[in-house]
Amino acid sequence: MRQTPSAVVVLAAGAGTRMKSATNKVLHRIGGRSLLGHAIHAARGLEPVHLAVVVGNQREQVVAHVEQLDPGVVVAVQEEQQGTGHAVLVALDQLPPVDGTVVVTYGDVPLLSTATLTTLVETHTQRRNAVTVLTTRLPDPSGYGRILRDSEGAVTAIVEEKDATDEQRAVREINSGIFAFDAAVLREALGRVDFDNAQGEMYLTDVVAIARRDGRQVGAVTTSDLWQCEGVNTRSQLARLGSELNRRTLEAWMAAGVEVVDPTSTWVDVTVVLAPDVSLRPGVQLHGSTTVASGAVIGPDCTLTDVVVEEDASVVRTQGSQSAIGAGASVGPFAYLRPGTVLGVRGKIGTFVETKNAQVADGAKVPHLSYVGDAEIGEGANIGAGTIFANYDGVHKHRTKVGRQAKTGSHNTFVAPVEIGDGAATGGGTVVRRDVPPGTLAVSTGAQRHIEGWVLRKREGTPSAQAAQAALDSEQSTATAASEEPEA
């Protein structure tokens, strides 16, 4: 039977000065979530009765983010950062009285998984520990608190590096800072923790030694996955953990049947959903709530954010956001899908085409060099190359509607609001200012006329004039020669 903790406390009050950023450390993002978002997601997976986040530095940023992520989270403010023990005490004071298990974790440990937390809670409960700590062994444990054990291997204490002896610093087993506590033991022990240490802070780790002195059982869960215990304090660490998270994400998708041609250049957020037999070409970035259905090919060189791609679609060298691409549709290369773009089944948005708030129906095509804004393009319609949907009059946006099976000429401008009827056509270079009835051909250009000799008069001495004169002289010579030929 799964054990549900009474509370999870996520510590996120630190300054994070080594990030050298105006943004709070826990709000920096990897894999489509903030560091704090990853922590809250892992904690929520335990289904705790209460979930609290302790904030302090730049609290306005963090509180707003927490409310957006999970309105059910209790926010506890640590006015002065007096250590991890004090932070937990602040959280407990904000929660209703709790008993059972309290889990403490951190807002800057993004690779920590719900599965690892579940193992921690289950071990803690099954062994009836007062305290259970998550540990790991590092080749270089510098900067971490060390786990001290007795001759029988039982955990006796945790010593912070600044307070450790040389012998203790040689210990490679480190404290991750992640604990499961008996709630009553935790609260009682925190009342006895002092500030007598190198940093003058109230250490949460002192609860371990207090519990041991009281004859209570302290246990540990040791993970071999070092990444789950690693926190982010610098930009370099942020990049390293982001790269590792992406590697794990791609490995999981490949195991589920997704083809990733070049994992080193492919980035997929943890919030993205992919189906088996999706193919991701090099240079692909998939973000947000993007979903890709079976048989679709994405890339090379695509960035899609909150885009739905249906079965067997092809998307090449495209940037898109908040858009939908229908089954069997084709997009790109060099297309830009802005929010509100919906492309139907077997539709096409082609080379150097930009769309915004545009619905392109099944089988409709916008193949080349066009801007389609605030538009509805009917089933089977074809938009000529170089077409502009002029949707903005300087004050308001207006819509253009192109009917089913309409065929529009190249280099058209549709001055919205305007409607081109079903089966209608437009001539090349047409500026459409009025509705075109179904089945009608609309043209707006006048008859072609020539002004002979204009280049010779207006561009005298230029290469164009010289070329024109040479051509005219050649034509004149040919005509003269023809006229001088004797009759047969």
Q: Which residues are catalytic?
A: 368
Rounded to an integer, what distance in angstroms lies between the CA atom of residue 441 and that of residue 265? Answer: 49
Beta carbons within 8 Å of 421's beta carbon, 6+ residues apart: 403, 406, 435, 436, 437, 438, 439, 440
Q: Helical H runs in 352-462?
A: 454-458
Rounded to an integer, what distance in angstroms lies between the CA atom of residue 83 and that of residue 193? Answer: 11
240, exposed or middle or buried, with CB in 10 Å at 0-12, 13-18, 19+? Answer: middle
Q: Mapped to the 3 state alphabet, what secondary structure does 303-363 carry?
A: EEEEEEECCCCEECCEEEEEEEECCCCEECCCEEECCCCEECCCCEEEECCEEEEEEECCC
Rounded to an integer, what distance in angstroms lies between the CA atom of residue 253 and that of residue 266? Answer: 12
Beta carbons within 8 Å of 425's beta carbon, 6+ residues apart: 406, 407, 408, 409, 440, 441, 442
217, exposed or middle or buried, with CB in 10 Å at 0-12, 13-18, 19+? Answer: middle
215, exposed or middle or buried, with CB in 10 Å at 0-12, 13-18, 19+? Answer: exposed
The two beta strands, 342-343 and 354-360, are parallel
For residue 445 the two structure tokens come to: 């250009």
State phi, psi for 209 to the nearest 5 degrees.
Answer: -65, -40
